[in-house]
Structure 1
């Protein structure tokens, strides 16, 4: 995907580190990431465009919106990820006007006023970096709970690993963070009231310009400026004071952390107070709605006297931090949200259409109408080609990468045919070759005809032959077809016991893999019939992609064991096919179902 990270800042912030580190990880995964912000100091891959979001007059904001629209159109941006209120407001308008998916990472407490309640400007989804922020925007801004997720600041845990103990003559205390706004006031009071500047060597690490009021500490405090290598900087410390990213990075280096943020003071971080630290982003966000700093600095001074007894950071604590903040896991969670934002904003998913038999003889209609004529199927293929859709198999989708299925310039479709009829070889395969299309055939392995329909107690069907093992091997080796599993006898799986379901799924898979001499990665539930146990059994059998029929979420990525398909009927015309696969058919269908 082409992703635009939008930030508003005049100095290095945790949001910038977050955006650039996540952006670089997304770039490594094959996505194209761009940045737009006032400044961008952190090293990053991807092009940066300067836009003065902090200039917030009405004419400026109008200019911001038009410039963002230009970037979206010029660079084929498929999703905007905003990281601040100023950039988020303009991005929201630009995305609305261009129908571009948008998500917002919320890094701090949001101001509460009437216009903000009515105009959230958060896009499809709000990604809060901690629980207290999520609760605040739900409680105070009225953002629907289903539109809010907690995804923590991502940290490259491989870059931050335990450091050896220091051998400093005096304990080195590092305060890391901004020197402006509430955090600047916090640093000032820590130096003024809390830290013994004579007993400790104090270093202030910040990218902010040092204000005049800090001049009184210059004889006893080192103002070191911005660090390009925070791990190397932290290696000198006996104690790190900070919040947010600073705290988690220091803990990963097994450095003791005294967490004091804009909203609250947690003191030394241990396993016991880690839940409170996670929920508040290590003190940056209160859980009681307070907006003013309310910290007893004298009490903090007493706690700091325990520094020698609180120097050990346990391996269990480091492991817990890794589990919460690992950059790869954070990136995966964001990609899941990106995909949902794209699907629901664009009302578009890779269409997966379902056929059964292909016939050229009217006597082959059968009792259930599970057919399409060869002439009608060719019309469908012509329409698919006209629409610029590329038919692929699930194995090819896996190679492309599920997260890349929406990449600009690509529009995929998956053609599926259930049961494995002989006519698929006789009539479907020649059409696939003619149009250079690919298809997936889900094969039953325990019978040579449609026995499940022929033996129906009240509405028996006529007999239709399935492919022989030799024919199935030939069509699989043709290069135009992928074979998938479809059980041994085509039962309604949800009506069977767990053991019976397992046998139907696993025996079918084993028989087909033995026949084709390769692994299968996709399975279809007969009749679309399944339950939660069926889904679990299909996954345990080794199927990555399991398709249903008219059930499952709109987004394929949301449940790979219940992928929704669109049914094609004998009466589905070229226009009917176009209507069903152009994009919003499933979205509208589910929306109408909810309003019934």
Structure 2
């Protein structure tokens, strides 16, 4: 995907660290990430464009929107991810004009006024960095709860390793954060009212210029300026004071953290208060700014320096909640949902069964297609520029790869594994260079499940032999998936019977092919929760149904929708079904 990260800032902020950290993780996954902001200090991959979002006059905002529209069109941006109020307003208008999906991460408490309540400018989805932000968006700004999800900060947890306690002659306290705005006020009051600068060695790391009022502390406090190696600073600190990412990173290094931010003083973070600390982003977000009893802090800070606690347990909690790859997984999930539902388009997954040469091979059930029509289908796909994907490729590249800019992907699936798949489909796959996924039944030699149907018996049709299956798989054009031993209606079986049908079929195909299977198809598209759980437990990354499941395929990997192809699906009918919006029009 092509993603535009939009920030507004004049110095390094937590939002910038978040955007560049997850941006680089997304880049590593094959996405193209661009940045637009007033400034961008942190090292990052991806092109950066300067735009003075903090200049907020009407002419300036008009220019912001025009420039964003230009960037969106020039770089074929598929999603805009805003990270601040100023940038989100302009991005919202630009995305409306261009029809571009948009998502906003809300990093802090929002100002509450009438216009903000009526014009949220958050786009298609909002990610709140903690529960307190979510609560304020819902209660203070009347944002619909369905629009909001929790989107934690992503931290490269491998970069912050446990460190032994330093052997400092005088306790070292490090304060990390801005010296401007509410954080600057907090830092000033800590120095002025709470810290004994004679007893402690206080170090301050900040990207801000030291304001004039801080000059009175110059002789007693070390103002380090912007620090590239924050872990090194934390490693030599007896206590780290900060909020948000600062607190998380210090906890990962198993350094004592006194969490205090723009809203409240959580105090020393322990296993007892870690959940509450995370809910307020370690003191950064609350109902009011600086709602802190500063008179009580000196004793609390002294106690924090003298308290022993389970650092390893805390680090494990933070690692589980903020791990960069897990956070990026969630972010990709939100991106896909926003794009698919905003544009009402999903890559088509079409479903064939068997193929015939002449009318004598027609069946009672409408699960066949004449091979001449199949070739017309393939000619249309080739003419329209479609490329075929398999589920094995999706598992390798990631689900989001199906939304790659400038690509038109389709997944061709074929159920049951009839002999005609080898005789008629296989040559056309070779001719057109297409790939397909065939779901093979392995406990039968013909379509017994249809032939022995007392209400509507079908004619007998042979299934492929193991040799034919292996030849198709070895070609690299066909991925085989599981389809049970005998093609039963799974919801009519007990859990153990379902397990045998799914597991034995999987084992037989994997032994024949010499590799693991990637996807499974429920016979008749019929399944229940046991079926889905068993597919997952038995190691399938994906399972496909027919006309049930979410409209966006990534939202339930074990109930992926498919589009049925029938005998009367001509070229025009296929075109209607593969445009991408078919499942949305049908629901």
TM-score range, shorter chain: over 0.9
Determine the C-alpha separation between the residues in 1 that align with 2:291 and 2:280. Answer: 15
Match of 1:532 among 501, 515, 529: 529
Residue equivalent to 2:545: 548
1:164-243 → structure 2 map (5 Å cutoff): 164-243=164-243
Pair 1:333 & 2:304 matched:
no
Decide whether the 8 Å contact of 1:39 with 1:50 is kept in 2: yes
Determine the C-alpha separation between the residues in 2 that align with 1:332 and 1:229. Answer: 27
Determine the C-alpha separation between the residues in 2 that align with 1:464 and 1:92. Answer: 57
Residue equivalent to 1:265: 265
Residue equivalent to 1:249: 249
Residue equivalent to 1:83: 83
Match of 1:558 among 552, 555, 579: 555
Q: Which runs of 5+ in 1 are unaligned?
A: 591-596
Of stretches 160-169 and 542-551 in structure 1, the one that deviates more from structure 2 is 160-169
Match of 2:499 among 497, 502, 516: 502
Determine the C-alpha separation between the residues in 1 that align with 2:510 and 2:154. Answer: 41
Q: Cα RMSD over matched residues? A: 1.5
Pair 1:315 & 2:316 matched:
no
Of stretches 304-313 and 415-424 in structure 1, the one that deviates more from structure 2 is 304-313
Determine the C-alpha separation between the residues in 2 that align with 1:29 and 1:470. Answer: 37
Residue equivalent to 1:412: 409
Residue equivalent to 1:98: 98
Determine the C-alpha separation between the residues in 2 that align with 1:221 and 1:517. Answer: 66
Residue equivalent to 1:589: 586
Residue equivalent to 1:59: 59
Determine the C-alpha separation between the residues in 1 that align with 2:496 and 2:454. Answer: 25
Determine the C-alpha separation between the residues in 2 that align with 1:16 and 1:246. Answer: 13
Decide whether the 8 Å contact of 1:238 with 1:311 is kept in 2: no
The alpha-carbon deviation at position 125 of structure 1 amounts to 1.3
Q: Secondary structure at the match of 2:374?
A: helix
The alpha-carbon deviation at position 113 of structure 1 amounts to 2.0
Decide whether the 8 Å contact of 1:153 with 1:325 is kept in 2: yes
The alpha-carbon deviation at position 324 of structure 1 amounts to 1.3
Determine the C-alpha separation between the residues in 1 that align with 2:346 and 2:480. Answer: 23
Q: Secondary structure at the match of 2:339?
A: helix
Determine the C-alpha separation between the residues in 2 that align with 1:222 and 1:508. Answer: 68
Residue equivalent to 2:382: 385
Residue equivalent to 1:427: 424
The alpha-carbon deviation at position 298 of structure 1 amounts to 0.7
Decide whether the 8 Å contact of 2:502 with 2:535 is kept in 1: yes
Report Cα offsets for 1:71-115 as digits up to 9, x if no partner. 111122222111101111111111222222221111001122222
Q: Secondary structure at the match of 2:223?
A: strand
1:353-392 → structure 2 map (5 Å cutoff): 353-392=350-389
Determine the C-alpha separation between the residues in 1 that align with 2:441 and 2:269. Answer: 58
Determine the C-alpha separation between the residues in 1 that align with 2:177 and 2:480. Answer: 57
Q: Secondary structure at the match of 2:341?
A: helix
Decide whether the 8 Å contact of 1:445 with 1:512 is kept in 2: yes
The number of equivalent residue pairs is 587
Decide whether the 8 Å contact of 1:255 with 1:311 is kept in 2: no
Decide whether the 8 Å contact of 1:239 with 1:311 is kept in 2: no
The alpha-carbon deviation at position 430 of structure 1 amounts to 2.1
Q: Secondary structure at the match of 2:157?
A: coil
Q: Secondary structure at the match of 1:224?
A: strand
Q: Which runs of 5+ in 2 are unaligned?
A: none
Determine the C-alpha separation between the residues in 2 that align with 1:514 and 1:265. Answer: 60
Decide whether the 8 Å contact of 2:2 with 2:77 is kept in 1: yes
Q: Secondary structure at the match of 2:288?
A: coil
The alpha-carbon deviation at position 525 of structure 1 amounts to 0.4
Residue equivalent to 2:152: 152
**1:517–1:12 Cα change, 3 Å:** closer
Report Cα offsets for 1:485-530 as digits up to 9, x if no partner. 1111110001101111011111111222233333322211001000
Determine the C-alpha separation between the residues in 2 that align with 1:586 and 1:302. Answer: 63
Report Cα offsets for 1:432-452 as digits up to 9, x if no partner. 222221111111112221111
Decide whether the 8 Å contact of 1:53 with 1:87 is kept in 2: yes
Decide whether the 8 Å contact of 1:11 with 1:39 is kept in 2: yes
The alpha-carbon deviation at position 245 of structure 1 amounts to 0.9
Q: Secondary structure at the match of 1:310?
A: coil
The alpha-carbon deviation at position 311 of structure 1 amounts to 5.4
Determine the C-alpha separation between the residues in 2 that align with 1:545 and 1:127. Answer: 27
Report the TM-score, using the length of structure 1 for normalisation.
Answer: 0.95
Residue equivalent to 2:2: 2
Of stretches 132-141 and 508-517 in structure 1, the one that deviates more from structure 2 is 508-517
Residue equivalent to 1:576: 573
Residue equivalent to 2:35: 35
Determine the C-alpha separation between the residues in 1 that align with 2:44 and 2:435. Answer: 39
The alpha-carbon deviation at position 409 of structure 1 amounts to 2.4
Residue equivalent to 1:593: none
Q: Secondary structure at the match of 1:204?
A: strand
Report Cα offsets for 1:40-88 as digits up to 9, x if no partner. 1111111111000000111111111111111111122222111101111
Report Cα offsets for 1:468-495 as digits up to 9, x if no partner. 2333333333333222111111100011
**1:480–1:307 Cα change, 3 Å:** closer
The alpha-carbon deviation at position 558 of structure 1 amounts to 1.5
Report the TM-score, using the length of structure 2 for normalisation.
Answer: 0.97
Residue equivalent to 1:594: none
**1:461–1:47 Cα change, 3 Å:** same
The alpha-carbon deviation at position 589 of structure 1 amounts to 2.2
Determine the C-alpha separation between the residues in 2 that align with 1:56 and 1:313. Answer: 48
Q: Secondary structure at the match of 2:453?
A: coil
Decide whether the 8 Å contact of 1:445 with 1:511 is kept in 2: yes
Pair 1:110 & 2:131 matched:
no
Determine the C-alpha separation between the residues in 2 that align with 1:400 and 1:330. Answer: 18
Determine the C-alpha separation between the residues in 1 that align with 2:538 and 2:487. Answer: 17
Pair 1:567 & 2:559 matched:
no
The alpha-carbon deviation at position 313 of structure 1 amounts to 5.2
Report Cα offsets for 1:172-199 as digits up to 9, x if no partner. 1122111111111111111111111222
Decide whether the 8 Å contact of 2:255 with 2:311 is kept in 1: no
Decide whether the 8 Å contact of 1:83 with 1:104 is kept in 2: yes
**1:198–1:545 Cα change, 3 Å:** same
Residue equivalent to 2:480: 483
